[in-house]
Structures are given as structure tokens and as C-alpha cells.
Amino acid sequence: MNISLKEILIAVSSIVVTILVVYLTPLKNLNIIEPTIKDIEPKAFYTEFLKNKDKFLFIDVRPVDAYNAVHAEGSINMPLHTLYDQRHNLPKTGKQIVLICSGGRASGVAYGYLEHFGFLNLRRIDGGIEKWLAEGLPIVSSRALEEIKDILDKENVSSLVIPCAVS
């Protein structure tokens, strides 16, 4: 079997061209299998959260106004558009980052974005704040305070005493 220099050169050239095509084009970024998002049910998360709040960083990615109107108890606000700058301050280990939004879409975008930057400690609240509310989990709401203020204004009440138990 006599292999000529021409045949060797063709084989080596083919290998080099194949390597260049794969590594220098977007083919290397082609996702054959769609990435999965690790969802957690609101009640299951809240139970875990209550056991050890230091284990989690609970982030609401909705806009500030939506967060101020109503948000899940224990969550902090970090609107989606701020994640690019804030990602440097987020832990990649040691804490679980749990994302919540209105219904799950925006937190899904945040999940994918953070995952792209190497965050593997991510979970998303299934159904967002809508499901959180439907399951009767605790919230913080400025709406209730505004409704009380409106009632007091209508009744011309200048002060209000709210009794509370001290233990």
C-alpha cells in the first residue's frame, strides 16, 4: 500500500477545515437539547425558606412598582433589567438563588441569563407571585395600607391607634 504525499495532504487539510468550521462558527453554540429550568412549588419553597433563610437569596425580578405593590414575604427586588450589573454581587455557591416574577416568564428569562454566566444554584418559583397568592402564602402589600389611608381620609380621621400584643 503506497500512500502518496497528495493523499496525506488532502486528509490533513480535510481535518483542519472540519475543526475550523466547528470551532469558528456558531455551530459550537448550537443547543441540541433545550436547557431545563428547575422549578419549585411555592409552598415547598416557603417551607424550606422558613427552616433556614440564610440558605437562600429570594429575588423578585419584577419592576419596582409591581414589587412595591405586592411581593412575597422575604423576597428582595432586583428588576430583570438590573441583573447585568448585579450579577457580580450574586453568590455562585453557598446560597440557592430563587427567582420569582408575576407568572414565571420573566424569572425564566432571569434564570437563563444567570445560568449563561455560570450560576448553577438557581431555582424558579413555579407560577410566580400569582400562584404564591393563590396558595395563600404571606405577602407584603402597600395596597392594604393605601386602602386604609383612603378610608381614613373619607372619614376625616386624623389619627388611628392600632392595638398590638406585646409578649
Classify each residue of 27-63 as buried b or exposed e, where b means 16 or more C-beta atoms within 10 Å of its C-beta. Answer: eeeeeeeeeebebeebeebbebbeeeeeebbbbbbbb
C-alpha cell at 132: 404564591
Q: What is the pTM of this model?
A: 0.70
Residue 14 belongs to what domain range? Answer: 1-30
Q: What burial class does residue 124 get, using C-beta atoms within 10 Å of its C-beta: 0-12 exposed, 13-18 middle, 19+ buried? A: buried
The pLDDT averaged over each successive group of 10 residues in the chain (167 residues) is 81 86 62 80 97 97 94 96 95 96 95 92 97 93 66 66 48
Determine the pLDDT at residue 166: 45
| Dist CA 116 CA 105 (whole Å) | 17
Whether 159 is covered by a domain: the verdict is no
Q: Are 72 and 137 in contact (CB under 8 A)?
A: yes
Q: Are residues 67 and 105 in the same domain?
A: yes
Q: Are 62 and 82 in contact (CB under 8 A)?
A: no
Query: Pick from 45, 88, 82, 91: which is nearest to 64 by CA?
Result: 82
Determine the pLDDT at residue 158: 62
3-state secondary structure of 58: strand
Determine the pLDDT at residue 109: 95
Determine the pLDDT at residue 97: 98
Determine the pLDDT at residue 6: 85
Determine the pLDDT at residue 128: 96
Local structure of residue 160 (DSSP, 8 states): -
Whether 69 is covered by a domain: the verdict is yes
- Cα pseudo-dihedral 151, 156, 158, 164, rounded to 10: -40
Q: Are residues 64 and 125 in the same domain?
A: yes
Q: Are residues 49 and 20 in the same domain?
A: no
As for how many domains the chain has, the answer is 2
Q: Are residues 83 and 114 in the same domain?
A: yes
Supply φ then ψ for residue 76, to 5 degrees.
Answer: -115, 155
Q: Are residues 19 and 67 in the same domain?
A: no
